[in-house]
Structure 1
Amino acid sequence: MKFLLVFDFDHTIVDENSDTWIVRCAPDQKLPNGLRSSCRPGRWTEYMGTVFVYLGDSGVQEDDMKRTMTAIPFTAGMVDLLGFIGKNKEFFDCIIVSDSNTVFIDWILKAADFHEVFDGVFTNPAAFSSTGYLTVRNFHAHRCPKCPKNLCKRKVLKEFLEKQLERGVTYTQIVYIGDGGNDLCPVMFLKKGDVAMPRHGYTLEKKISQLSRDFCPVECSVLVWSSAVEIMSYLKRLLKEN
C-alpha cells in the first residue's frame, strides 16, 4: 500500500510566489516598469530569465538571493504536514511539480530540513553562471495547448507514473495538492479514486468549480483546503482506513 502525494510549490507549500518574492532583492524592492510589463502570456520562465539578468546587473549576489528566499513563509499548517509525511515515508511517495526553479526550491527545502521528504522535484532547471548571474531554462518541451510553454504538469505526472510502474511501483491513490491554473491539466488526468486538493479561494478551485457548472466535472474526488492541517487530517484518515 503506497500513496503518491503531488505538490505544487508556490502558494501551496510556501505562502507566496517565489518568483515575485525574489524582487525583494532588487533596488527599492521593485522592478522597472518596462521590465514588469515585458512578460508575455505562457512565457513566464523567459521573463524570469530577464529578471535575473536585471538583478545581476544591479549587483545582487547569490548570498543575498539565498537569504531572501529562505525567509519566505510556509503556508499555514505546512510545516506540520511535511513533518507528518516525513515520519510516514513508508506509506507516502511525495513529489513537487512546480513552475518555480531548482535553485529556489532547493534552498527553501534544505533550510527547513524538508528536502528528504520529497522523492523528486520537477521544476525549471536553474544555476548560477560563472559571472554570478542566476539563469533558468524551461523544464521541457511539450505539445499541450492548455499549459505554458515551459511546463505541462500532466506530462510530468504521467511520465513519473510510467517510470514508477517500470520499477514495479503502483499507487493505491494519488493526492494532488495545488492552487494554480496550471494545476488543472494534471487534475484532469486523475482517475476515480484519486483526490484533487485545491487551495480555497485560488484559481484551481475556481476552475474546477467552473468545469462542474459546465457539466464537465473532474473524474477524481475534490477536497478543498485552507490550512495544510486539513490535508494532514485527510492523510491520517487514509492510513487508518487502509
Structure 2
Amino acid sequence: MAGIVVVFDFDKTIIDCDSDNWVVDDFGATERFDILLETMPWNTAIDKIMGEIHSQGRAIEEIGDCLTKAPISPHVIKAIKAAHALGCELRIVSDANTFFIETILKHHGLIEYFTEINTNPGFVDDEGRLRIFPYHDFTTSSHGCGLCPPNMCKGIIIERIRASAFSEGKKHLVYLGDGKGDYCPSIKLSEKDYVMPRKSYPLWELIYTNTQSIKAKVHEWSDGEELEKVLLQLINESLSADRCDNIVPLRLAADFKCHTVPLPSSPGALPKALPVPH
C-alpha cells in the first residue's frame, strides 16, 4: 500500500454539482428551500424539505433516480480508480449526507474504492421518508470551530484522519475540495501534505488570500480532466520520492532518478477496497 491518503469533498468535487440543490431543484422546491434557510441551518432545512417532498406522495425511489442523474466527470471516475490501484487509501469528508453520497457512488460503481465516508447521517425511516441529521449534534453542544457550519467541522475530522494515517505509517495526505467548509481542514494539513482547491471556487479564493495559513503544498484544478491529471501526478511524485527515501541514503539521493508509477491499463486489475462503514 502507498503511504498516501486521498480525502475528497463530494459536492462540486467528486460530482459536478451540489447534491442538495440538485434534488431540491429537481423537485421544484427551490423557492421553499430558500425561505427555510432564512430561519434555520442548511442541514436542518434539507431534512425539512425531504419531509415535505414525502408528504406530497413522492417516493424515495424518485429521489434515488434523481441522484443517479447528478453530473460526474468520467475523468473523476478514472482518477478514483487509478488512485486506488496505485495503493492509496481513499476517504470522503462531505457536508452532504450518506443517502445522497452512497446512492451516487453505487450507481457509478465507486463505493468499494472508499474505506470511509464522513458525512451527515441520512436514512429512510419506516414510513419511507428520508431523514437527514447533523454529523455533529449542535443542539446539545458546539464543536467549537468558528470557521465551520454548526453541524460539521471538517478540520476535526481531518485531524483524526491524519493521526490515524500517521500511526499506520502513511506519510502524505491529499485533500481535494471547493467550498468554504474545506478551508478549515486545509489549514490543518502539514508541509508533507497537499491541498487541491478547485480554481475560482471559495476554497481557492480563501487559500490565495490567506497564503501564510497554509502549510501544505497547493495544486489547483478547474475541471474533472485537470483533477485527474494533477492528482495522479502528485501521487506518482510522492510514490517516487518515498521509494528513493527508502532505497537510497539521503546523501546519495541526488545521484539517482526514480521513475513514476505507471497507471493501470484496465479496470479489471483494480484491487478491492475495504467495506465502507455505515
TM-score where L is the length of structure 1? 0.89
Q: Which runs of 4+ in 1 moved over 6 A?
A: none
Q: Is the alpha carbon distance of 1:5 and 1:131 closer, same or farther for their aligned partners in structure 2, counting shifts above 3 Å?
A: same
> 2:84, 2:90 within 8 Å by CA — same for their partners in 1?
no
Is 1:58 paired with 2:40? no
Counterpart residue type for residue 233 of structure 2: S
Deviation at 1:13, TM superposition (A): 0.3
Q: How does 1:6-25 map to 2 (within 5 A)?
A: 6-25=7-26
Q: Is the alpha carbon distance of 1:110 and 1:135 closer, same or farther for their aligned partners in structure 2, counting shifts above 3 Å?
A: same
SS of residue matched to 2:36:
coil
Unpaired segments of 5 or more residues in structure 2? 138-142, 243-278
1:33 to 27, 31, 34: 31
1:218 to 211, 214, 227: 214
Q: Percent identity?
A: 27
**Structure 1 residue aligned with 2:77:** 79
**Structure 1 residue aligned with 2:127:** 131
Is 1:175 paired with 2:174? yes
> 2:33, 2:46 within 8 Å by CA — same for their partners in 1?
no
Q: Is the alpha carbon distance of 1:93 and 1:32 closer, same or farther for their aligned partners in structure 2, counting shifts above 3 Å?
A: closer
> Aligned partners of 1:35 and 1:41: how far apart in 2?
11
Task: Give a deviation string over 1:71-115, Cα, whole Å, max 9, x none.
Answer: 1111462011012023223xx111100000001111111111111
SS of residue matched to 1:184:
helix
> 2:43, 2:133 within 8 Å by CA — same for their partners in 1?
yes
SS of residue matched to 1:37:
helix
Q: Is the alpha carbon distance of 1:187 and 1:147 closer, same or farther for their aligned partners in structure 2, counting shifts above 3 Å?
A: same
> 1:153, 1:185 within 8 Å by CA — same for their partners in 2?
yes
Deviation at 1:34, TM superposition (A): 4.2
Counterpart residue type for residue 106 of structure 1: E
**Structure 2 residue aligned with 1:188:** 187
Deviation at 1:58, TM superposition (A): 1.9
Q: Is the alpha carbon distance of 1:41 and 1:205 closer, same or farther for their aligned partners in structure 2, counting shifts above 3 Å?
A: farther
Deviation at 1:228, TM superposition (A): 1.8
Q: Is the alpha carbon distance of 1:52 and 1:42 closer, same or farther for their aligned partners in structure 2, counting shifts above 3 Å?
A: closer
> 2:13, 2:178 within 8 Å by CA — same for their partners in 1?
yes
Q: Is the alpha carbon distance of 1:197 and 1:173 closer, same or farther for their aligned partners in structure 2, counting shifts above 3 Å?
A: same
**Structure 2 residue aligned with 1:47:** 45
> 1:25, 1:64 within 8 Å by CA — same for their partners in 2?
no
**Structure 2 residue aligned with 1:232:** 232
> 1:192, 1:221 within 8 Å by CA — same for their partners in 2?
yes
Is 1:108 paired with 2:104? yes
Unpaired segments of 5 or more residues in structure 1? none
> 1:11, 1:17 within 8 Å by CA — same for their partners in 2?
yes
Count of residues in correspondence between the two structures: 232
SS of residue matched to 2:192:
coil
Deviation at 1:170, TM superposition (A): 3.0
> 2:8, 2:93 within 8 Å by CA — same for their partners in 1?
yes
RMSD after superposition:
1.9
> Aligned partners of 2:103 and 2:31: how far apart in 1?
29
